A and B are shown apart, each in its own frame.
Chain A
Amino acid sequence: MKTGKGLRGVAVALVGALALTACGGGGNDAGDGGPAKLRMSVWSANEAHLKLFNEIADEYRKSHPNVESITFDPLPFENYTTTLTTQIAGGNAPDLAWVFENSAPDFVSSGALAPLDETLKKTEGYAYDDLSPATTKLWQDGGKLYAYPFSNSPFGVFVNTDMLRKAGQRTPAELIASGQWNWENALAVAGATAAKSGKAGLVIRDFDYKGWDNLSTFFTGWGAQAWSEDGKSCGFGSPEMVAAMTALHKGIFTDKALPGPGTTADFFAGDAAMTVTQISRASLLKEDGFGWDLVPLPAGPKGNYAVLGQAGIGVMKKSPYADEAADFLAFFTNPTNSAKLAQFFPPPRQSLLTAETLGKTNPKLKPEQLQKVVVDGITNGVVKPSHSGQAELSQQVRAGLDPLWQPNADVKAVLDGVCAKIQPLLAK
């Protein structure tokens, strides 16, 4: 609406004028035809990650004098999307941004991101067709790619083998060998280990009775979905979801296989026997710590399955340097640099998705672990639930699920209640 923009413009101009007066002037580097200054919002402040990003950026700038600087701006992980959208609202949007899979539909469908296909395809040596279609699906709209899925991290189960052995339990590796690695046995082992060790059994990391989307690593094994493929109907009331949540509820409150609400236990600090998390968390394992293993998710009643979390990099359409940003992204994610990034972020490139290639840069993981958890996970896995308006939906699901985390909860009634809350939002 023009009047709105007009008044906002006046307000911004007024604030800008005051700021300029106070600061004694200053230049506007936005789209003035001068060399581009690119900024990419990221949620990792890991020194090794940033060092690699900067190396790639420095190399790019050598051959692109039109780009004066490329900075990587780490925002806090916990409030990443909120901070990013607040920056966009405040007129301080980055040129490129990492996007979580759960906000992918919002970013992709809103028109906030610039389409990338053309730039990526025309970049020499890019090998666009090498990108696995399973990994790009979430980031496309109308046949165009709006973000590059640079990180595809499947969920697996990390196991404290020392703790399991001390508790006299069979390890998941043994259960896998005998074809018995399923949730029933996994929860039984976790419950027995917790009872003997006095520590926690199995922790679904980052769930903490709030981050319910991490439960998709559990309920997908029952064939349950938070909502239908088209996103229009609620899946929480389905028989599969009721069966999955009944099993989870029993695991928490009857078998004590999972720590109860309000109890914290960090697997990597040695507080739990097993944890379900993304393989990228392997970096949290200490060199001289406990004995550990990484195995795929246990089979559910519907058989074997895999779940993965994704992250994409998009170019903000309104950036004055959108073209330069897209060009840099094409360089950042070309086959050579993808191979470098693969040491931290499992890539979407099929040519790199081999246990051998990944093994070179993931020394902590054995080839069979990489094959079973990473390669198979990315190829066959389903991505964590995501939907447009995810934040609001997620909040409603969280509030709706809260009554389930009581010992005497009526699972079916609670799940029907969740659907009653979110169905109007899904139908929008």
Chain B
Amino acid sequence: MSATDTRTGPVATTGPAPGRPRRPWWTGRRRDQLVGYLFVTPQLLGSVVFVILPLVLVVWYSLHEWNVLAGTFDYVGGDNYAQLAEDTNLGGVLKATGLFSVGLVVFNLALALLLAVLLNQKLRGSIVFRTLFFSPVVVSLVAWTIVWGFLLQDNGGINGLLDTIGVDGPNWLRGENTAMLSVVVVQVFKNVGLNMVLFLAALQGVPGELYEAAEVDGASRMRQFWRITVPLISPTIMLTSIITVVGSLQVFAQIAVLTQGGPGTSTTVLVYYLYQQAFQFHHFGYGATLSIVLFAIVLALTVLQWQMRKRWVFHES
């Protein structure tokens, strides 16, 4: 069936001819459109109800003081945004968020790349190691974190291990510096396998003849890595860094299970802080405002990374 058969007909030169057939409303074109809409409706409905509507409501809530217990919902304009400037905790929270993100991105990407390069060698047992490093990715996040919580206790497994070699381990989750380091390490080991697999796929896509040519030219292994491997896998580095940065800004369960933001406020990252404000302190309006700050930060970083790709991501074309 074609849509053109409804458009054909005698062309009148002097006004509408009385015998001109009226275009029927229900055409094949409309039917195709309807079918298309029906196909996307479930997805669209889901997105509208569960993504777009809440996003719009968050903006709306951020302009209000919502006291859940008293049942009041008062418009306060930009007061919640003004409170951001007066919030004495926010500086520390942003610092903790930045520390976590930088720590996670650096450790995660470096370790993932190192593992991928090692496992890319044709060595016996590399599949076993690949599976071992990837397996934490499929483990439940909370279960993973609880087990690490036991290991990191003062009298836990890690200090027990250190004790056997005569090292008196710190109280990992109670020290201001070691707590953040612990949370970063727990998260790195949780997700390093995913980035490792992505890097591995990218490494296996690098043509072998480039290395052969470089070897003929006398390039060292290190030089080959920096001049051939890194540029050719740069799109993957870009992808993994965006995923890791965005993921690092959303960290919540690890903090909630391991430290609850402490000691002091040293591990109170932005998502945990907005959870506290909204759901524990019942400042839903201010919590919504903080989530908009988080949205702005994620957006800005993603745009920045996307812009930077032009400078350092290698494209074959």
Contact = CB atoms under 8 A, between A and B. Distances in A.
Q: Do A and B come from one complex?
A: yes
Interface of A: 1, 3-5, 7-8, 11, 14-15, 18, 22, 82, 85-86, 88-89, 106-107, 110-112, 209-210, 260-264, 318, 389, 391-392, 395, 398-400, 402-403, 405
A18 B153 contact: no
16 contacts: A1-B74, A5-B73, A22-B45, A209-B174, A210-B260, A210-B262, A261-B171, A261-B174, A262-B154, A262-B156, A262-B171, A395-B261, A399-B265, A402-B174, A402-B264, A405-B263
A1 B276 CA distance: 25
Given A210-B260, A210-B262, A402-B264, A112 B70 contact: yes
A11 B68 contact: no
Contacts of B69: 85, 88, 106-107, 110-112
A85 B68 contact: yes
A88 B67 CA distance: 10
Given A1-B75, A4-B73, A15-B53, A88 B68 contact: yes
Nearest to A86: B279
Interface of B: 45, 49, 53, 57, 60, 64, 66-71, 73-75, 152-156, 171-174, 260-265, 276, 279-282, 284
A398 B261 CA distance: 10
Contact of A110 (B70, B155, B263, B281): B70
A5 B68 CA distance: 13
Contact of B71 (A210, A260, A264, A318): A318
B74 A14 contact: no
| Shortest Cβ-Cβ A-B pairs, 9 listed | A262-B154, A110-B69, A402-B263, A112-B69, A392-B281, A4-B73, A110-B70, A89-B68, A391-B280
A318 B70 CA distance: 10
Contacts of A82: 279-280
Nearest to B266: A402
A319 B141 CA distance: 37
A110 to B, nearest CB: 4
Contacts of B279: 82, 85-86
A123 B154 CA distance: 56
Most buried by B among A1, A4, A7, A400: A4
B154 A85 contact: no
Contact of A399 (B154, B262, B280): B262
A3 B155 contact: no
A175 to B, nearest CB: 29
A11 B50 CA distance: 12
A7 B171 CA distance: 50
A318 B279 CA distance: 20
Given A89-B284, A106-B69, A399-B265, A18 B74 contact: no
B276 to A, nearest CB: 6
A54 B155 CA distance: 44
Given A4-B64, A209-B174, A262-B174, A111 B281 contact: no
A82 to B, nearest CB: 5
A106 B53 CA distance: 30
